[in-house]
């Protein structure tokens, strides 16, 4: 099986090295041999040794090379990558990609062309790097009905919240983000990570695989991290929770809920223990129950490992549905307003008699139960109240927050964090 590689950046370089360094072990696992034949690299000074390989600067020279059987797409982005992948498949070549945005945004079209041309597109590396979550959903739990998929699928966001919540506990979002950029955990433009877009791409793919649903990326509710304060993190900790950046996909009757946002997780839940840049994905299936996969979510070696796994599957002639199901169902996604969950509410109010009664009175009027409550004095003039509610519909919570905002004693708008 002859392979052409498009893109020799961080992941592509690691893949080239993996071919060389693990050659013996890889060959022991193969049904038919695989060889890296040609590489498309724009740089005159690549990060790895390309000696012995045919090298071009034109990625489409790879797709049009009749001697190649498989194209590995590692250039990123969606415009050129989409054209590259479609052209490769129309030329009768299988494709392996690590491009989550490509699959999340254009998966339906790509899978359709793959079926039409009788080729495969594999994308294990598109979600959670070195964690074999695609294989787990497509094969390992194929006999299960999946009820929920939830996890930490963006290492940058997890690092930021872990550091803000850590032993130091004195660095705000801006300071920790700058540290993450210095360490190489965050890009110069970190918006895709900290605004939740990267995680939304990934939960779109996982929902498609887990539920066999045709999922529109635009239907995912997405919230970022920038509004999270150290004050909230201290209260979250005192209430017995950790704050984690979760992507969550659940099925309720014939509808899905798809969301990405910071979420409070009880300290006795294993997800609360996943710190730093590590990823973790929890799958709840029937009859298997809950399983959790944990590992490195990004980085050249981990992602290259996932790409190689797909190449080995192709060499074995694995006849697997590209999207996990022979056919995806059209499934509606219910609004975040219809979500039912417990939430944390924090209000800063004037430190005067009767305010607590006013706050709890609004919640009681709207049939919102109170599971826990903390009141602290910020200073002589301001008191801080933190409340954990019972499970309530999001729309009712938001209406209550609007009512709380209108109180004359309110110092700043109330804050809300959902609870996992």
Within the chain, all domains assigned CATH 3.30.70.260 are found at: 337-419
| Fold of the 2-126 domain | Rossmann fold (3.40.50)
Kindly write down the DSSP assignment for every residue of 123-169, as one continuous string: -GGGSSTTS-HHHIIIIITTTSEEEEEEEE--HHHHHHHHHHTSSS-
Portion of the chain with pLDDT greater than 90, in percent: 84
Summarised one tens digit per residue, pLDDT across range 118-155 is: 999 999 999 998 899 999 999 999 999 999 999 999 99
Thinking of the domain 337-419, which architecture would CATH place it in?
2-Layer Sandwich (3.30)
Residue 169 has pLDDT above 70, yes or no: no
C-beta contacts of 174-180 below 8 A and 24+ residues apart? 180/156
> Across the chain, how many H-helices and E-strands are there?
14, 21
CB contact set of 185 (below 8 Å; sequence gap of 6+): 155, 156, 159, 277
pLDDT value of position 151? 96
CB contact set of 99 (below 8 Å; sequence gap of 6+): 73, 74, 76, 77, 78, 81, 123, 126
pLDDT value of position 322? 86
Portion of the chain with pLDDT greater than 70, in percent: 99
82 is catalytic: no
Within the chain, all domains assigned CATH 3.40.50.720 are found at: 2-126
Mean pLDDT of 8-15: 93
pLDDT value of position 338? 95
pLDDT value of position 264? 98
Mean residue pLDDT across the chain: 94
CA angle, residues 316, 298, 87, in degrees to nearest 5: 55
Residue 318 has pLDDT above 80, yes or no: no
Tokens matching residue 311: 């190449």
pLDDT value of position 250? 97
Inter-residue contact 397 to 414 (CB < 8 Å): no
Which of 110-114, 311-315, 324-328, 393-397 has the weakest average pLDDT?
Answer: 324-328
Residue whose tokens read 């999946």: 146
Residue 258 has pLDDT above 90, yes or no: yes
pLDDT value of position 167? 60
Residue 187 has pLDDT above 90, yes or no: no
Residue 60 has pLDDT above 80, yes or no: yes
pLDDT value of position 327? 85
Residue whose tokens read 């094969």: 139
Summarised one tens digit per residue, pLDDT across range 268-281 is: 999 999 999 999 99
| Active-site annotation holder among 202, 234, 273, 416 | 202
Residue 88 has pLDDT above 90, yes or no: yes
Mean pLDDT of 26-33: 89
pLDDT value of position 168? 62
pLDDT: which is higher, 320 or 267: 267
Within the chain, all domains assigned CATH 3.30.360.10 are found at: 133-296
Inter-residue contact 316 to 30 (CB < 8 Å): yes
Distance of alpha carbon 30 from alpha carbon 21, whole angstroms: 16
Mean pLDDT of 383-393: 97
Summarised one tens digit per residue, pLDDT across range 324-359 is: 888 889 999 999 999 999 999 999 999 999 999 999
CATH class of 133-296: alpha beta
Mean pLDDT of 24-47: 90
Q: What is the dihedral of CA 224, 229, 233, 235, to 10 degrees?
A: -130
């Amino acid at each position: 099986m002859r392979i052409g590689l498009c893109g020799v950046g961080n992941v592509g370089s690691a893949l080239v090295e993996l071919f060389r360094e693990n050659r013996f072990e890889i060959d022991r696992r193969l049904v038919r041999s695989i060889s890296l034949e040609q590489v498309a690299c724009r740089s005159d000074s690549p990060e790895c040794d390309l000696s012995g390989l045919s090298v071009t600067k034109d990625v489409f020279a790879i797709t049009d090379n009749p001697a190649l059987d498989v194209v590995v797409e590692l250039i990123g982005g969606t415009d050129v990558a989409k054209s590259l992948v479609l052209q490769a498949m129309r030329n009768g070549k299988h494709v392996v990609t690590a491009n989550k945005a490509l699959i999340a945004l254009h998966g339906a079209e790509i899978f359709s062309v793959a079926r039409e041309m009788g080729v495969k597109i594999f994308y294990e590396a598109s979600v959670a790097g070195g964690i074999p979550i695609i294989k787990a959903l497509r094969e390992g739990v194929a006999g299960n009905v999946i009820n929920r998929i939830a996890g930490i699928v963006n290492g940058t966001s997890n690092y930021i919240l872990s550091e803000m919540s850590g032993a130091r506990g004195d660095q705000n979002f801006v300071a920790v983000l700058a540290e993450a950029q210095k360490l190489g955990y965050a890009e110069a433009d970190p918006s895709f990570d900290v605004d939740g877009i990267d995680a939304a791409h990934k939960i779109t793919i996982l929902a498609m695989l887990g539920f066999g649903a045709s999922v529109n990326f635009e239907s995912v509710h997405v919230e970022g991290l920038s509004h999270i304060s150290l004050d909230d993190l201290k209260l979250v900790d005192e209430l017995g929770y950790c704050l984690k950046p979760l992507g969550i996909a659940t099925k309720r009757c014939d509808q899905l809920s798809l969301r990405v946002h910071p979420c409070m997780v009880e300290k006795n839940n294993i997800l609360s223990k996943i710190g730093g840049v590590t990823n973790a994905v929890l799958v709840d299936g029937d009859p298997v129950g809950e399983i959790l996969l944990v590992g490195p979510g990004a980085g050249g070696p981990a992602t290259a490992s996932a790409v190689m796994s797909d190449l080995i599957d192709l060499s074995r002639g694995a006849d697997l549905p590209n999207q996990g199901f022979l056919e995806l169902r059209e499934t509606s996604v219910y609004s975040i307003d219809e979500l039912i969950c417990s939430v944390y509410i924090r209000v800063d109010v004037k430190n005067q008699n009767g305010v607590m009664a006013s706050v709890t009175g609004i919640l009681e009027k709207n049939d919102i139960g109170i599971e826990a409550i903390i009141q602290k004095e910020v200073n002589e003039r301001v008191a801080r109240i933190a409340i954990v509610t019972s499970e309530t519909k999001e729309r009712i919570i938001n209406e209550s927050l609007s009512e709380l905002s209108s109180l004359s004693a309110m110092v700043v708008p109330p804050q809300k964090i959902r609870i996992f």
